[in-house]
Chain A
Amino acid sequence: GQQVMQIPQYQHVQEGEDFTTYCNSSTTLSNIQWYKQRPGGHPVFLIQLVKSGEVKKQKRLTFQFGEAKKNSSLHITATQTTDVGTYFCAASASGSRLTFGEGTQLTVNP
């Protein structure tokens, strides 16, 4: 199956700093999705990107899909303590099942 690489594995920031996690694939993707998992919780769907070069925003979160549809990023502006958790990308290519990245664990120091 396809591999989805996600970096960094961990990120520690001070409250108010920005945060970015990156997701990369060697194959062209049909779509990419982002999920957030709070400590002790289950993954919750955030957004799906489908189009080449697509950019979507949810308040302080900006999601981007690369022009070649092989990479994506999630950027959080001015992090808050409520942003703590693990952010997963998940991607599928034509004919394949959804594959989750390894996740980026974000901690925010108040």
Chain B
Amino acid sequence: SAVISQKPSRDICQRGTSLTIQCQVDSQVTMMFWYRQQPGQSLTLIATANQGSEATYESGFVIDKFPISRPNLTFSTLTVSNMSPEDSSIYLCSVEEGLETDTQYFGPGTRLTVL
């Protein structure tokens, strides 16, 4: 399976600032995904990042708050903009492997705390 890295692994940020999270994959993948996992909760899909096109956002998530870049087939960034304490969460990127399955392989996650 693909090896996925994320930077930073954790950060503590002030209210009103923005943080960009990077996701790097060791192989070319068509689809990359960004999830949010609040403490003790399940995983919620934020958006799907496709190379060469705009990201597709899930209900409740908007581009102004969570802009995403996907400059090539191995890299993506998620920015959490104008942060508030409610944005404190773990942010995970993931990829699908295989053409016939939507199985997800996750990066290690970025633990964000907003003060």
Q: Is the CB of A42 within 8 A of B107?
A: yes
Residues of A within 8 A of B101 (CB): 31, 48
**Total interface residues in chain B, CB < 8 Å:** 20
Q: Is A43 an interface residue, CB under 8 A from the partner?
A: yes
Q: How far in angstroms is the closest Cβ of chain B from A109?
A: 20
Q: Is the CB of B42 within 8 A of A101?
A: yes
B106 is contacted by which of A1, A33, A42 (Cβ under 8 Å)? A42
Q: Name B108's closest neighbour in chain A (CB-CB).
A: A42
Residues of A within 8 A of B1 (CB): 45
Q: Is the CB of B103 within 8 A of A33?
A: yes
**Total interface residues in chain A, CB < 8 Å:** 20
Q: Is A102 an interface residue, CB under 8 A from the partner?
A: yes
Q: How far in angstroms is the closest Cβ of chain B from A67?
A: 22
CA–CA, A45 to B1, complex, Å?
10
Q: Which of A37-74 contact B (CB under 8 A)?
A: 41-45, 48
B42 is contacted by which of A1, A92, A102 (Cβ under 8 Å)? A102
Q: Is the CB of B42 within 8 A of A103?
A: yes
B45 is contacted by which of A41, A44, A97 (Cβ under 8 Å)? A97
Given A43-B43, A88-B43, A100-B43, are A48 and B107 neighbors across the interface (CB < 8 Å)?
A: no
- Partner-A contacts on B (CB < 8 A): 1, 40-45, 48, 58-59, 92, 101-109
